[in-house]
Amino acid sequence: MSVAEPRRIVLFRHAKADWPDVPDHERPLAERGRKDAAVAGRKLADSGIPFDLAICSTAHRTRETWKLAVHELPHRPKTVYEERLYEASPGVLIAVLNETPDDVRSTLLIGHNPGVHGLADILASQAEGDAQERMSRREFPTAGFAVLSFTGSWKSLEPGTATLQDFWGPSE
């Protein structure tokens, strides 16, 4: 793949988690979260983006979100479970994305707020349609996702190099 071809990043926040008496990393999805994760998976399938790679936090709620969403996709991308995504800042998330091999065209990152929302904000130098307004108004809800595109190698991804193409949340 040429680095001149557009690449896509989908930043996907885990679905609604429950609050049992367990460490935060081990919190499961709530009933609503399980439903929203599947709906988000169908919406991702409808996007038509052929995901080459999924990078998922190791937290229970992100793994459970991905397990429910991926069943809705036409094909399962290679999945990597990455400890650094848990409680990650936008800078750490960019560093993880910078490690993506250049033969990968589209990556789905399943993570947590505030990092995922912060990353969408700092990557996007522009937005298509009302995507920016919808993302800001909704404050990146659980099971929401942002679709960004950029041109260049994954190593060149940095703040202000992407376009926010779309934003979706489960109540839309």
| Measured distance CA(3)–CA(11) in Å, rounded | 21
Q: Which domains does the chain have, with CATH numbers?
A: 6-167 (3.40.50.1240)
What's the angle, vertex CA 118, arms to CA 112 and CA 124, rounded to 5? 125
Write down the mean pLDDT value for the chain: 95
33: left (phi over 0), alpha (psi -120 to 50) or beta: alpha
pLDDT in tens, 15-30: 999 999 999 999 999 9
**Integer Cα distance of 83 and 2 in angstroms:** 30
- CB contact at 8 A, 46 and 74: no
Which is nearest to 106 in space by CA: 41, 54, 158, 71?
A: 54
| 66 compared with 138, residue with greater pLDDT | 66
Of the listed ranges 7-21, 95-109, 125-139, the one predicted with least confidence: 125-139
State the Cα–Cα distance between residues 166 and 128, nearest whole angstrom: 7
φ and ψ at residue 33, rounded to 5 degrees: -65, -40
Looking at the predicted structure, is the pLDDT value of residue 56 above 90?
yes
Kindly state the average pLDDT of the residues 54-82: 97
pLDDT, one tens digit per residue, over 127-166 is 888 888 888 777 899 999 999 999 999 999 999 999 999 9
- Section 67-86 average pLDDT: 97
pLDDT for res 1: 52
Amino acid at 114: P
Q: Which two tokens stand for residue 78?
A: 């290679």
Binding-site annotation: residue ranges:
61
Question: Which of 13, 5, 3 has its CA nearest to residue 110?
Answer: 13
Binding positions for substrate are 61
Alpha helices in 3-114 (DSSP H): 31-47, 60-70, 90-98
pLDDT over 70 at 2, yes or no: no
The percentage of the chain sitting over the pLDDT mark of 90, rounded to a whole number, equals 87
Q: Average of pLDDT values for 77-82?
A: 98
pLDDT of the residue at 82: 98
**Burial class, 129, CB count within 10 angstroms (exposed 0-12 / middle 13-18 / buried 19+):** exposed
